[in-house]
Amino acid sequence: MSHVQTQVTVDDPEGDAQADASQVSHFAHLPQRPTDEAFNIMRLYTQDKHPNKVALGGGVYQTESGRPWPLPVVAKAEAKLFERADLHRHDYLGIAGDLDFVSLAQDLVFGLSKHNTKEKERIASVQTISGTGANHIGAMFIANHLKPRRVWISNPTWINHHAIWRMAGVEIQEYPYYDASSRSFNFEGTIDALENKAQPGDVVLFQACAHNPTGLDPTKDQWNKIADVCRNRRLFPFFDCAYQGFATGSPERDAWALHRFLELGIEMGVAQSFSKNFSIYGQRTGAFHLVLAQEAAAYRESAFKNLCFQVRGEYSTPPRHGAAIIKEVLGNDDMYQEWLDNLGVMSDRIKQMRQELYNGLVALRTPGTWEHILNQIGMFSYLGLTPGQVAVLVDKYHIYAMSTGRACIAGLNPSNVKYVVGAIDDVVRNVQ
């Protein structure tokens, strides 16, 4: 009887797994990414059938009845556009977008008159896909051409800032913006980071007004000091202007920091969004502005062409309809005034709901101090709740807010504010 010798092989699970993965897809190596919290909260709220659910997660204005509010002036502008029945209304825009819109956007954000050509000669601007697109275009442009070592971003900040600058390939550092003990703007910490840690050529990301998520803005004196530090340390300011008009109800007052930096001749980038202040979130309308130093206006055309080169390689041309709406409003004195009135309605209602939220917590003697709710401005409030407390708000009360404790005050109304106050009182007393 013959014996057949068999070869024993040892499995290599890791090697087989790698081989199998490479045979399955070229993309098997992709990292796992977390679900975006803000959009996930909106999704969960939409799916929730509870009768008392409250949406405090997304940055969307709602009326006293909890419904969206298409601005009356926007409806008027759309009616005019419809009546005009322009045969070219679905044509491509140019690479830089609607140039009349871009000029009006400059006027609004920098406080310029329509005839202030001196300042406009040093501003290169393109229409973008709303504020996210403006932040992205600006970040990529600066990363490619200034090649900064680092960008300094406030801690905390809008959830998307880190992703945008990470994609641009710039190292991210944070400056301490929020003082949790006093629930106030950490001016000293901000100045210390910019004066002693940031290096010449670094980018510093600021929010022009109604800081997201804290609702805390520097004073004029503090902005002046920040501007001095940026100029003396040769830092490059990058402003995200997403809430002009929502902080105080006045677009002029809300853009004061931008006007001041422009007046001082400081080079900067500005990402401008019209989603919130025109309530046209889905139209994706914005602009990116590159401001050159006063003595560098000769480089404006080169900067503009390089911005257009980047836009052409990314999306070729921006959406048309939102720009047409805004151009109709900002280009007409009567409609512009009506828009200011609409802004006032939104801003005043948000202030009223801040007051009612504060009054309710004080009336219940909810542990802690709540004056910060009144001191904050704009669409959001940084309530000071822990992630565990927010989780109970969601699970027990169907009140949807960010895990950081950021709440959209525009989601409150006379019908739900008492319910929200009671829920906050419960979690503060009983949940760590």
Is residue 279 situated within a structural domain? yes
Shared-domain flag, residues 102 and 206: yes
**Distance from the Cα of residue 154 to its chain's centroid:** 13
Global pTM reads 0.91
DSSP secondary structure letter of residue 173? E
Question: Lowest-pLDDT range, 17-26, 55-64, 316-325, 362-371?
Answer: 17-26
Shared-domain flag, residues 117 and 202: yes
Omega within 30 of 0 (cis) for the link into 213: yes
Shared-domain flag, residues 123 and 206: yes
Contact residues for 238 (Cβ-Cβ < 8 A; gap 6+): 138, 139, 142, 151, 203, 204, 205, 206, 268, 269, 270, 271
Question: Lowest-pLDDT range, 106-120, 157-171, 207-221?
Answer: 106-120
Shared-domain flag, residues 117 and 189: yes
pLDDT over threshold 50, residue 6: no
pLDDT over threshold 50, residue 8: no
Contact 138, 287 (CB under 8 A): no
Is residue 163 situated within a structural domain? yes
Structure tokens at 6: 């068999």
Is residue 365 situated within a structural domain? yes
Contact residues for 31 (Cβ-Cβ < 8 A; gap 6+): none
CB-side neighbour CA atoms (13 Å) of 220: 6
Structure tokens at 241: 């202007």
The arithmetic mean of pLDDT across residues 223-243, rounded, is 98
Question: What's the mean pLDDT when you consider all of the chain?
Answer: 93
List the beta strands (DSSP E) in 46-183: 54-55, 123-129, 150-155, 171-176, 178-179
Per the model's pLDDT, the better-predicted residue between 63 and 185 turns out to be: 185
The arithmetic mean of pLDDT across residues 31-58, rounded, is 93
CATH number at residue 124: 3.40.640.10
Q: What is the pLDDT of residues 403-420, one digit of tens each?
A: 999 999 999 999 999 999
Shared-domain flag, residues 174 and 263: yes
* 423 — pLDDT class (breaks 50, 70, 90): very high
CA distance 344 to 339: 9
Shared-domain flag, residues 326 and 352: no
Q: Which residue range forms the structural domain that includes residue 414? A: 37-70+345-430
The structural domain count of the chain equals: 2
Give the domain-ending residue among 270, 305, 331: 331
Contact residues for 225 (Cβ-Cβ < 8 A; gap 6+): 191
pLDDT over threshold 60, residue 401: yes
Shared-domain flag, residues 164 and 290: yes
Shared-domain flag, residues 320 and 356: no
CATH number at residue 355: 3.90.1150.10
| The pLDDT value given to residue 23 | 74
DSSP string, 178-202: EETTTTEE-HHHHHHHHHHT--TT-
Is residue 411 situated within a structural domain? yes
* 241 — pLDDT class (breaks 50, 70, 90): very high
Q: What single letter denotes the amino acid at residue 375?
A: N
The arithmetic mean of pLDDT across residues 67-96, rounded, is 94
pLDDT over threshold 90, residue 27: yes
* 330 — pLDDT class (breaks 50, 70, 90): very high
Shared-domain flag, residues 286 and 413: no
Is residue 16 situated within a structural domain? no
Question: Lowest-pLDDT range, 1-5, 245-249, 251-255, 395-399?
Answer: 1-5
Q: What is the pLDDT of residues 55-74, one digit of tens each?
A: 999 888 998 888 899 999 99
pLDDT over threshold 50, residue 319: yes
Is residue 11 situated within a structural domain? no
Contact residues for 98 (Cβ-Cβ < 8 A; gap 6+): 127, 320, 323, 324, 327
Per the model's pLDDT, the better-predicted residue between 297 and 293 turns out to be: 293
Give the domain-ending residue among 298, 331, 364: 331
What SS3 state is found at 36? Answer: coil
pLDDT over threshold 50, residue 94: yes
* 89 — pLDDT class (breaks 50, 70, 90): confident
Structure tokens at 151: 């960008």
pLDDT over threshold 90, residue 178: yes
| The pLDDT value given to residue 2 | 44
Q: What is the pLDDT of residues 98-115, one digit of tens each?
A: 999 999 999 999 999 766
CA distance 95 to 309: 8
| The pLDDT value given to residue 16 | 57
Shared-domain flag, residues 50 and 189: no
Is residue 80 situated within a structural domain? no
* 41 — pLDDT class (breaks 50, 70, 90): very high
The arithmetic mean of pLDDT across residues 291-304, rounded, is 91
Q: What is the pLDDT of residues 247-274, one digit of tens each?
A: 899 999 999 999 999 999 999 999 999 9
186-210 as b/e, with b when 16 or more CB fall inside 10 Å?
A: bbeebbebbeeebeeebbbbbbbbb
How many residues would you count in the chain? 432
Structure tokens at 328: 């109709």
Per the model's pLDDT, the better-predicted residue between 117 and 328 turns out to be: 328
Omega within 30 of 0 (cis) for the link into 318: no
Residue 75 burial by Cβ neighbours in a 10 Å radius (0-12, 13-18, 19+): exposed
Residue 104 burial by Cβ neighbours in a 10 Å radius (0-12, 13-18, 19+): buried
* 13 — pLDDT class (breaks 50, 70, 90): low
Shared-domain flag, residues 228 and 355: no
Is residue 30 situated within a structural domain? no
Report the percent of the chain where pLDDT is more than 90: 87
The gap between the terminal CA atoms of the chain, to the nearest Å, is 77
Give the domain-ending residue among 289, 309, 331: 331
Catalytic machinery residues: 158, 240, 276
* 275 — pLDDT class (breaks 50, 70, 90): very high
CA distance 287 to 304: 13
| The pLDDT value given to residue 37 | 92
Shared-domain flag, residues 289 and 215: yes
CA distance 393 to 401: 8
